[in-house]
Structure formats: structure tokens, C-alpha cells
Amino acid sequence: MTEVQTAPDAGTPVVAPAGSSAGDRSVRELFLHTWRGRIGLGIVGLFVLTAIFGSLIAPDDPNASSLAVLKGISADHPLGTTEFGSDVFSQLLVGAQVSIIVGFSAAVISAVLGAAVGLAGGYFGGWTDRILDPLENWFLVIPTLPLMIVLARLLSPSLGVLIAVIGLTSWAGTGRIVRAQVLTLRERAFVERARALGAGDLYIIRTHILPNTLPLIFANTVLIVAVAILSESALAFLGLGDPTRISWGTMLENAFNAGAPSAGAWWYVIPPGLCITTLVLAVSILGYMLEEHVNPRLREHR
Amino acid sequence: MSDSLMEVRDLAVQFKVKRGVTRAVDGVSLEWRPGEIFGVVGESGCGKSTLARALLGLVEPAAGEVALRGNRVEGKAEVAELRRRVQMIFQDPYQTLNPRQRVRSIVAEPLLVQKVDRSEHDGRVRRALEDVGLDPERFGSRYPHQLSGGQRQRVAIAAALVLEPEGLVCDEPVSMLDASVRAQILTVLGGLQERRGLSLLFITHDLSLAWSLCDRLAVMYLGRVVEQGSAVDVIEHPRHPYTQALVDAIPVPSAGGGGPRELLGGELPDATDVPSGCRFHPRCPRRFEPCDRIDPPLIAIGGRGQAAACLLHDPELAGRAVEAADG
Amino acid sequence: MSLLEVSDLRVHHRGEPIVDGVDFELGAGEALGLAGESGCGKTTTALALMKLLPPTLKQSGRLTLRPPEAEEPINIEKRTEAGMGLVRWRHISLVFQGAMNSLDPVQRVDTQIAEAIRLHEARPKAKEVRERISELLKTVGLTPGLGRRYPHQLSGGQRQRMMIALALACRPSLVIADEPTTALDVVMQAQVLQLLENLREQLGLALILISHDLGVLAETCDRIAIMYAGRIVEIGSVDSVFGAPQHPYTKRLLESLPVIGGERGLATPIPGGPPDPGEMPEGCRFRPRCPYAAERCLEDPRLREVAPGHASACHFAPWSEWPAPAAPAAAEGKG
């Protein structure tokens, strides 16, 4: 560390008057008054409602088997049937639950872990950072999917295990971003001022560091929701999902095992695939909008 | 000398860098008296800001001691006591305030940290804001980005005042502000010194400002005090060649400017590699034979407390050194 | 014939005036100081002269440059972006704020200077370019060997000198320097100012020096223009403006600066702060902060000559003496 002494940079006139840029809009305005925001929010909202009420509005028991095996679209079955004669549409509605639960829970775990590691490493530095930083890098560079597969295989598959596995393997990105932000915040004069007042580390983290990193953590977490939904689908597709629950991933797995694509049963393959893509896309739109909002450097080209 | 507010003796602060050890503060002794405005001046990199931080225990000194009212500051309890009685304001008003806190909670923060009874908060915050000329009603619930640079610095001062400290360390508090705003902030600080008997330690690179504001001052070069005394004596009759060069370099805002002058060559050396002998000798226009060998102490000149660390004022010491080398 | 003529220069940001009707002339080899506080429009004026404003700012007004090296006057306001490419650096160059840090960190500095020359001259010979660069470095007081270094291997003062060398690379007749010494310490600042002064003598360079530091301008310039809220409120020779200011703003600004050997202690500050571009006061823009404001000041004052070569935008100029100010018109923690 060298002496922190900046030369006087007095009287820097700003060419554009501050406080009038588009970026000063609130998040609420951002989401409700732009088309991107409305579409993203609308889709995510629809899927969340489906997750909550899906099992109530499903026309059939999604697990009920019948003799109408791999039948196409009909009045009874708006999206056809599975290889056991279950209703695809009902499975689709119920499946939303797993995606939403896994997506949001895993993202929360990932955010908490990433924020804790990033805050600790960035704020305390020294030995704490020397241990946490390589750990973070390690989680950042190892291929996540194989790690998830190994972990999920070692533990018996259940919803909780899925959430834990996805959460545990996806926090490193958040950690990185938080650590970088904390490193700059730590040198800001208001933190030094608090220290000069005699404030303790916990107080400084609580009132000065965390509130200034929260928007960043939040934006990043939304993006992780998308990653988590995809990961769950991938794991379920590979047969590592919760066997007691229907999810879009398990639907795809069953469809492939039953040879649906080669049998021309498109109604069994495309709807869950489309649901995954749409939800992930909508969540990503919101995530990127938030990220732009909290990170002015991404906003230059407005 | 227990009549000082704060005193440092042989203070040294060092930082490890890639190329070695930076001796940011390298053996400084000085005394900050109650009720006075004490100035520390020097170029950037001379160690004046580090000195201020060391005073408040924000950096760990490598050697020397710091005393508050004659009691040595060591250990947690003393540091906590010190931070209650001496506050600090910083250079950049855009950086010192947390952008997510309202003015009211920024000013109340010291009360919270020092666990002052909650019932007192409102009144004290209000008084502190009024003291710096901000209407508590109008400004209390604003965020920093809704304030101008001068207003932010006022808020920072209010937050420093709310604990009613005896001393205020000001690190370049106006160097980023415009002339008219600068005068406003200085008036606020000057008023506090007068009304409350607040002692100010004023760190600045601006010699004319130090001259007009301070009672006494110390000039720092490369981590060491090279001259000290009353502000008028030091600036109007500098006794150290470095102080002389600094005074000569000040641009004068008057008809005709400052006129022709002799300019100091070279640049401030790296504090990892302090020159031998007098640390100013490689740039000194008046250096003579033993200057590269003898590190001069502060030598008193006249009877009014002025002192300069220059061999020119102690020919005897210089002579002995030359003899010793010859013999 | 003057080198540069600026007439009714205006810059708007979403309809709000940042620069609001600036006129001045600059003679060949003359140094003009542009002074004022942040937000007064001095940097915006400088950028407008080179048409370097960001797209959100719209400029209007006539800008005529008559460089001795060009046959015809150049109407800057009519030039397209491509046309400006031929003017910038060749005729006018800029040393901007924080210039020290605007060198490309991964290129040797002489390569960067050579680039500037090659961009403006048709196929210069490599050997000539090399010679010119070492000549340039000598001009700014650097040893030519320093050209082979990377920016981080130079000190702050050396980098500032490099930026000045870069500005001189194509032998322009006008250099605009925006706060060139703000980040430097007094000793280094004095060195750089001395250099600028020498260069003007040697090269017959005209200089527009922008600074908030009136001392810097007094030391370096022939004439000085004081800007306030997007307008020039006073312009004249350094000696007459500093010796006998003719606008209350200049007067108060000068009083707020300590001059060693003068009166010690705190000056009475100017109350309040400069107006926002969206809420300009009616009439004289300094009126709400002016201790001498009167009814007449609700009328917009024009910049007019009040002494030979000395103009002021105050209804009451010329001021022969300054009466003790009455209570300030409005003041409430606006600073």
C-alpha cells in the first residue's frame, strides 16, 4: 500500500448537467414503462402464477396414466399425451413449480454465499482474502455442469439437493463482482470517515458497504435465476432430477427415453423446451436491465 | 508539555511497496495547541495526509508516539477516546458521504457509533447543521447527490461537529472547491474556531491559504518537517531553501503577476529512496559541502519559535562535520 | 487581423444554455486566460472552439480562424466532422484536463507523437519525423531519450510536458490548455507555466489558457476573460482587470483570494452559488449574489467597453471606487 494522496483536481466542470440522464429512473419505472421491462415482467409473472396455481388449474392428474399413449393434440388433451398416456399440458403446468422454486431458491443461496465471500474477502483482505480468492477462482473456472452432475450423483436426488448443488456451484461470479466493488468502496472516504469515528467492522459493513453493493448483488442474482432454471432442466434431463416431481427437465428426459422425437411426437418435446427458453429469456431480460441500471458503464450507448 | 491538544514525537509511518519501504512519515515531532489553527503544508507525497491519519490512529505508526492532552495514545480505549475528541474531514466532498444515506443520518452517524443516547440525536443533528449554515428542514432529508460540492463539505463538517470535538483535522478541505465556495467553507471553519474554541489542524498544499488562515505551521518535505514557526514568519521570511522555493512558486493573482523568479528544478524524489544527509540537498540551490552527509535537525532561529532543518543556520555543526571528514 | 474571432457562441443542453452568447477575439501570439468557477462554461467554450462537444450539446455562433499557415480564413462552424479533422491539431490543438493520464499506456510516447504527425501530413519521411520529435522534446525541456519510454515510466511533470509536446507536434498557431496544471504541485506548476511562456516567445504561439486559478492566469496571460453562468462578464488586459476590476463578480473573486503580504484573515465570501442553467435569474445573472444590485439590474447588461481594451457586463461600470457593500440580496446555504 502506498500513501493515499490524490492531487487536487479542482473545479472540474461537467459538460452535461448531472441528474438528467435516463439512468436516474427508478427500477419500478424502468420495468413498467419500457417495453422490454413489461414483456419480461409479464412473462415471469405468468410463470410464477402458474407455479403457484398450476396444480389447481391442471385439467388432469399429471401422473395419471391412460391407454391413450403418445396421442397428438385433441380436445381432451390440448398438448397431447405422454408415453404413459398422461396429459402433457397438465405436466407442463405442474412442472413450472419445480423450475420456479429451484431457480429462485438456488439463486438466493448463491447470492448469500457470493455476497458473504465477496464481502469478507474484499473488506478484510489479508489472509481472509488469500484463502477466499483462490476458492472463488476455482469455482469460477471449473466446468459447473460436470461438478453438478458429480455432486447430484453422490447425493440422493431430491428437490433440496438440487437447490443446494446449483446454489453451491454458481456463487463465484457474484463473489467476484462483490469483492471488486467492496475493494473500491473500502477506499472511499466515507468508509475512512466512519473508521475515524471509531466505527467497528461490522457496523461499517452493515451501513456503508452492504447497502452500496446490494443493487449489484440483486441484479446479478436475477441473472443467476436464469442459470439455475437451465441447470435444473439439464440435471433433470440427465436423470438427476427429483424422481417424485415433474419438471420440464424430467419431461424432456422421459420424452427422449420414450423416443418421442423419432416418433414425431413433437407435442411432447417442444412445449417443455419452449417453456424453459421463454422463462430463461424473460428472466435474463430483467437481469440485464437491472445490471445496466446499477452499472452506469453499460449505459453509455443510450 | 501537557498544555498541547495533541503532540507527536519522532513519529514514523512506513508502507511496504514492491520496490521496498516507503518512508511516508519519517521522524516528525510537533505540537498542536488548543484553540489554534495549525497548518501542515507541503507538496503531494510529502506525507502530510499520512501524518494526519497517523494522528487519528488510522494508520499504524512504525515508531514514535502520539499523545492527547499529554496522555500517550496506545491501546483500544485511548484510541476510542481520541476518536471522540478529535474528528477529521477529508478532501473530496464527493467521496466522503455515503450516497445511500440521507443528510440527517450522515450527521447522526457519529452519535450512533459512539452510542450517544437516542433522545439527544435530533437536537444535536439540528444544531450541527445550523452551525455550518444549512437549514435542517430543507437539507435533512436530502441525499448527497442532491447537494453541491460546498453543501456536501458542510454536511461533512456538521457530521464531524456533532460529537462536539475539541479538535478537527482538515485534510485539504477546500482544494476541490471553487474560489467563492472555498471562502464560504473557510468562513464556517473560522467561525467554529472562534465561537467554540475548536482547534484546527489544517493540511494543505496551498501556501497562500495557509498563510492567511493558520496561526502556526509546519512545512513538510519527504516525510520530515523542514521548517516550522508562526505562519507569518515562515511564509514571509522562510529560512529553509525549500520553503523559499515553495513561496517563490506561488502564482500571484494581481496585476503583473509575481514577476521573474528562480525556479526549483527536479521533482520530489520517491519516498522509498530518501537521499542521504539532508533529504533536500539534491535539489537545493544553496547546498554546500557537508549537506549530503549530515541530516540536520530543526534549528531554532530567532526567539519566536521559528526553526528550520538546514545547516545554513548552524555553521558550527557543518564545520565540525567537515573537520571530521578531513581528519 | 485577429487569429480567432468568436461571435455569439452558444451551447445548449436540452434547451438549457451552458454557454450563452460569448464573443471575443484573439490576436496571433496572444495569450488569453479564461477564468471562472466550475459550471461557468469555460471548458464547454474550449471544446466548442474545436467542435469536440458530445452530441447532447448543440452549439451555434460564428468561429473564424485565420491561421498564418492557411491561405483562407477557416469557418469552423461550417466545417463537417471530417473537415474538422484537418483543423484540429494542424491549426488548433488542445491540452485538456487530466491530460497527464490521457497518453496511451501501452505505446511508447514518441510513437504517439509520430502518430499525430502522420495523421496530419502527407507521407512524412521516417527520419524527419524522428528528428522533429527529438526537436519537440528538447523544446519542452525533455531529453530526447525519454521518448522511448512508456507513459508509466515518466513522472507527472514529464507526462505533462509530453502532452504539451504532443499538442505542438503539427506546429499549430493556437493551443488551448484546459487546466493544464491543476493536478500538479506548486513547484511543478511553476515549471510548466514557465515552459508555456517560453514556447509562446519561441514559436509565436497563441494560447487560450483555462483555469479556475486566477494566479496562474495572471502569471501567464496577456488578457483575461472572466466567465459567469455561461457568459463573459469582464474581459481586458491582465493588468487592468487585476488592477482595477470593473465587475462586482471579479472584484469579489479577487478579494476572496489571499495574497501573501496583503491582508491576512478570512475574506467575506460571496453568498450563495452560481445559478443552474435551467433557472437563470432575470437580467444580470450575478444579481442575486451581488451586493450592489439595483432595480436596473433586472435589465440584461451587455458586455461593453468601459476603458480602453477593457469591457464589463455591469450596468454600473466603470467603477471608480467600490462603496462598502450593502447587505447581500439573497443568501441561504446554497454554496
Report H helices in B69-133: 76-85, 103-113, 118-131
Does any CB of chain A come closer than 8 Å to the CB of residue B95?
A: yes
Distance CA A245, CA A98 (A): 8
Question: Cβ distance C316 to C292 under 8 Å?
Answer: yes
Whether pLDDT at C132 is above 80: yes
| Binary contact (B235, C260; C-beta < 8 A) | yes
Q: Give C280's DSSP letter.
A: P
Of B45, B99, B113, the CB nearest to A198: B113
Judge contact between B309 and B296, C-beta under 8 A.
yes
Pick from A10, A15, A17: CB nearest C182: A10
Position B252 confidence tier, pLDDT thresholds 50, 70, 90: confident
For residue B159, give how far its alpha carbon lies from the nearest alpha carbon of chain A (Å). Answer: 10
Instruction: Write down which chains contact chain A via at least 3 CB pairs under 8 A.
Output: B, C
Report the predicted TM-score, pTM, of the whole model to 2 decimal places: 0.80
C13 touches chain A (CB under 8 A): yes
Counting one residue from A and one from C, how many pairs have CB atoms under 8 Å apart?
47
Grid cell locating C30? 496572444
What ipTM was predicted for this assembly?
0.83
Q: Which residues contact B99 (CB under 8 A, 6 or more apart)?
A: A212, B143, B144, B145
Q: Are B153 and B141 in contact (CB under 8 A)?
A: no
Write out pLDDT tens, residues A145-197.
888 888 888 887 788 888 988 898 889 989 999 999 999 888 888 888 888 88
Quote the CA–CA distance of C193 and A203 in Å, as a whole number: 48
Give the distance from CA A296 to its chain's centroid.
21
**Predicted confidence (pLDDT) per residue in A102-131, tens digit:** 989 999 999 999 999 999 999 998 888 899
Tell me the pLDDT band of C191, cut-offs 50, 70 and 90: confident
Per residue in B257-267, pLDDT (tens digit) is 656 667 777 77
Count the neighbouring beta carbons within 10 Å of the beta carbon of residue A32. 11
Question: Order of strands across the sheet with C4-13?
Answer: C16-26, C4-13, C57-65, C74-75
C95 pLDDT band, cuts 50/70/90, is confident
The DSSP line for B255-282 is TTTT-S-----S-PPPTTSPPSSSTTGG
Tell me the pLDDT tens digit for each residue of C307-330.
999 999 999 988 888 887 655 444
> What number is the average pLDDT over the span C208-219?
90
Whether residue B79 and residue A198 make contact (CB cut-off 8 A), yes or no, is: yes
Residues in CB range of B118: below 8 A, 6 or more apart: none
CA C326 to chain centre: 33
Neighbouring chains to B with at least 3 Cβ pairs closer than 8 Å: A, C
Q: In what order do the strands lie in the sheet with C92-95?
A: C92-95, C174-178, C206-211, C31-35, C223-228, C231-237, C310-312, C304-307
Contact C40, C227 (CB under 8 A): yes
For residue C318, is the peptide bond before it cis, meaning its omega torsion is within 30 degrees of 0?
A: yes
Q: Which residues contact A223 (CB under 8 A, 6 or more apart)?
A: A283, A284, A287, A288, A291
Q: Provide the pLDDT for residue A23.
A: 40
Please report, as a single letter, which amino acid is at residue A252. L
Distance CA A259, CA A205 (A): 55
Mean model confidence pLDDT for chain A: 80
Of A101, A108, A106, A109, the closest CA to residue A48 belongs to A101
Out of A188-192, B112-116, C21-25, give the one with best mean pLDDT.
C21-25
* Pairing between β-strand B299-301 and β-strand B306-308 as defined by DSSP bridges: antiparallel
Q: Give the relative orientation of helices C109-120 and C126-139 as an angle to the nearest 10 degrees.
A: 120
